[in-house]
Amino acid sequence: MCFLKNVKTDSISNILRNYDLCSYCINRLMPKNFIKKDSLQIRKKQFKKAKKELIKKCFICKNIFEKLNPVLNNIYEKTSNYDFKTFQIGITLQPSFLDRDDFIRSKLKIHGTENIKFGILTELSKKISQRTCSVREINEPDLFIEVILKDESCTIRSKPVFVYGRYNKTVRNLPQKKNICKKCSGIGCHNCGFNGVLNEISVESKISNFLKSKFECSTIKINWIGGEDQYSLVLGNGRPFFAKLNNPKKRNYVLRKKSDQRGIYLSELKKLKHQPKGFIPFKSEVDITVISKSPINLSKLKKLKILEKNQVQFVSKGKMISKKIYHINYKKVGNNTLNLNLLLDGGIPIKSLIETNDVTPNISHLLENICRCKKFDFKRILI
């Protein structure tokens, strides 16, 4: 909406006489529908004058509209590596531009027309759209372009890509997550290249490197559906994970469903529009090998059946948690060795369930024997 309140022709002509304005600013401030015939003539005259006398500086914009090419070239160069169909743009403009714009607007008593910032945004957007075959979009654009007009610089940020997948782990002695640097406890130091984490091979590093190479993103945050020990295998249909890929350059990459990453096999890979929020409940089927200090007593072994369809309790992050064991199978395979197969809620600490009083009831307590979890492998993860 635009309102020209009691603007007298001579006030417009006075302004135009006293202040040099460029054609962009005249067009911006005085949409022709709202201008009386006389003033339109003046506007046209001034428009021609402004076009001829480019040397003269526009009082409001200091001819900034004529000088957008360097910043546009900067934008074209920086965005050329990105896949995008939509973009949004933000600019930082020195306050003096807005002050001068307000000053002229108040003299002309104009409200509601484009202010200078909006005018520059419109101009930049139009050019970027034409050049890159993309459209400006306010909600969730593929790309966010931030321009500082003072030094003609720009920074580019792209919308994250979300990936869902499952992984199978077929080798032992491979941690799930990157280890936090012990020298700096994750703050960042020379030892860890200021990353806070060690650059050792892990499931996380393998998945991250794979996705980074495909989407050319800066960082990846993985949301794991449960975890395992570095010696555990993950078999069956694999463990689900959700990855958030920050600042990806190649968002159009067509992700194949499967990928073999030597020791880690990825499946069900697909791009998601959004990442699910909050905790995702899941169940795990686990094969566990237990070693006991004393020989295993067969009659005591039967007591393990009370775990079936029952809850176990443990404290996590200061809270008492109760989770269910759905199914238990056991087999004595040596005097001091026991194989267990459990179907249980995700989040139950497996080692503690075997070894310590942190989980009640627990296997050592039920068998009245000091038990140690030699290894545990995941056979299935259900979500």
Give the residue, chosen from 4, 25, 222, 325, that forms a contact with Zn ion under the rule CB under 5 A: 25
* Counts for the chain of helices (H) and strands (E), in that order: 10, 17
Distance of CA 4 to the CA centre of its chain: 46
Give the residue, chosen from 22, 30, 143, 304, that forms a contact with Zn ion under the rule CB under 5 A: 22
- Nearer residue to Zn ion within complex by CB, 89 or 181: 181
Task: Return the DSSP state at 24.
Answer: H
Write down the least CB distance from residue 59 to Zn ion, Å: 7
Q: Applying CB under 5 A, which part among 187-195, 312-320, 324-332, 358-366 lies near Zn ion?
A: 187-195
Give the residue, chosen from 16, 30, 50, 61, that forms a contact with Zn ion under the rule CB under 5 A: 61
Binding mask 307-336 for Zn ion (x = CB under 5 A): ------------------------------
Q: Give rounded-to-5 percent helix, strand, coil for the chain.
A: 30, 30, 35
Site membership for Zn ion, residue 191 (CB under 5 A) = yes
Q: Applying CB under 5 A, which part among 139-147, 160-168, 177-185, 319-327 lies near Zn ion?
A: 177-185
Distance of CA 373 to the CA centre of its chain: 37
Site membership for Zn ion, residue 184 (CB under 5 A) = yes
Cα–Cα distance, 180 to 197 (Å, whole number) = 4
Site membership for Zn ion, residue 382 (CB under 5 A) = no
Is residue 229 part of the annotated active site? The answer reads yes
Question: Residues near 262 by Cβ (< 8 Å), separated by ≥ 6?
Answer: 206
Write down the least CB distance from residue 221 to Zn ion, Å: 19
CA distances from 224 to 109, 165, 241 (A): 59, 10, 5
Give the residue, chosen from 148, 189, 291, 366, that forms a contact with Zn ion under the rule CB under 5 A: 189
Write down the least CB distance from residue 204 to Zn ion, Å: 17
**Which position among 229, 287, 345, 358 bears the catalytic label?**
229
Cα–Cα distance, 52 to 209 (Å, whole number) = 57
CA distances from 353 to 283, 306, 325 (A): 16, 14, 11
Give the residue, chosen from 71, 121, 181, 312, that forms a contact with Zn ion under the rule CB under 5 A: 181
Site for Zn ion in 266-285 (CB under 5 A): none
Question: Long-range contact list for 121-124, CB < 8 A, 24+ apart?
Answer: 121/89, 121/91, 123/24, 123/65, 123/68, 124/68, 124/71, 124/72, 124/75, 124/89, 124/91
Q: Which residues bind Zn ion (CB under 5 A)?
A: 22, 25, 58, 60-61, 181, 183-184, 189, 191-192
User: What is the set of active-site residues?
Assistant: 229
